[in-house]
Amino acid sequence: MIKSLILGPVQTNVYFIINDDTSECVLVDPAYSPERIVQLIKDNGLILCGILLTHGHFDHIAGVQGVLDEYKVPVYASAKEEKLLSDPELNESREVFGRGITVVPDHLLKDNEEFELGGITFRNMDTPGHTEGSCCYYAKEMGALFSGDTLFEGSVGRTDLPTGSSRTITRSLNEVIMTLPDETDVYPGHGGYTTIGDERNYNPWITRI
């Protein structure tokens, strides 16, 4: 089961990936309002096992510390995003909040590295372009991709922020994400749910051969 909250001024999607058999839960991109995140976990009797970060921008990490104050769980991110996560200028938290926000992941993942959390196997897929270390998390058994700000419904994340590149995000979309099955459900960092098949057919950033 997947639950979600939309939090913060830029309407960031926060996902709760739930193992229905054990009530274990994996949190994706705790954006803002950690008290609301914690309350949902408690109200549903969930056991938080870890936090996945798709990238290091302020609107995806602002709630991390608040959640960690309540739950001592590991944080995962792509190894290539370590610098942006540690730099308030690059992740724009200082500009937005007037104070720096940083995150030190417990696990820095390699491209295509698989790991297990809450009884669910995830594969980290490095998908640079929105940021240098942007990644997606693919849960094959669930048929689900958590795409962060790499792939949106009918669009992609902006590439004009520090470490972004439109050429690189195009390559990530076409050479990495589009290798997944059409029936894969896509849960983006902003906006609505979609599928790989729909994006292959209708997203103008996808090259059709």
Is it the case that residue 209 has pLDDT exceeding 60?
no
On whether residue 209 sits in a domain, the answer given is no
On whether residue 25 sits in a domain, the answer given is yes
pTM of the predicted protein model: 0.95
Q: What per-residue confidence (pLDDT) applies to 180?
A: 98
Give the tens place of pLDDT for each residue, 84-115: 999 998 888 787 777 888 999 999 999 999 99
Q: How confident is the model at residue 182 (pLDDT cuts 50, 70, 90)?
A: very high
Q: In 3D, which of 57, 68, 70, 3 has the Cα closest to residue 31?
A: 57
pLDDT-above-90 percentage for the chain:
89
Q: Which residue has the higher pLDDT, 194 or 96?
A: 194
On whether residue 83 sits in a domain, the answer given is yes
What average pLDDT does this structure show over 14-32?
97
- CATH for 92: 3.60.15.10
Q: How far apart are CA 147 and CA 138, in angstroms?
A: 8
Expressed as residue numbers, the domain containing 51 is 2-97+108-202
Is it the case that residue 70 has pLDDT exceeding 50?
yes
E strand or H helix at 162:
none
Query: What is the number of structural domains in the chain?
Result: 1
For the chain, give the mean pLDDT.
Answer: 95
On whether residue 144 sits in a domain, the answer given is yes
On whether residue 81 sits in a domain, the answer given is yes
Q: How far apart are CA 183 and CA 35, in angstroms?
A: 34
On whether residue 54 sits in a domain, the answer given is yes
On whether residue 138 sits in a domain, the answer given is yes
Is it the case that residue 24 has pLDDT exceeding 60?
yes
Give the tens place of pLDDT for each residue, 144-176: 999 999 999 999 999 999 999 999 999 999 999
Side-chain-side CA neighbours of 188 within 13 Å: the count stands at 20
Q: How far apart are CA 155 and CA 10, in angstroms?
A: 16
Q: How far apart are CA 90 and CA 83, in angstroms?
A: 8
Q: What per-residue confidence (pLDDT) applies to 78?
A: 98
What average pLDDT does this structure show over 189-200?
97
On whether residue 188 sits in a domain, the answer given is yes
Is it the case that residue 23 has pLDDT exceeding 70?
yes
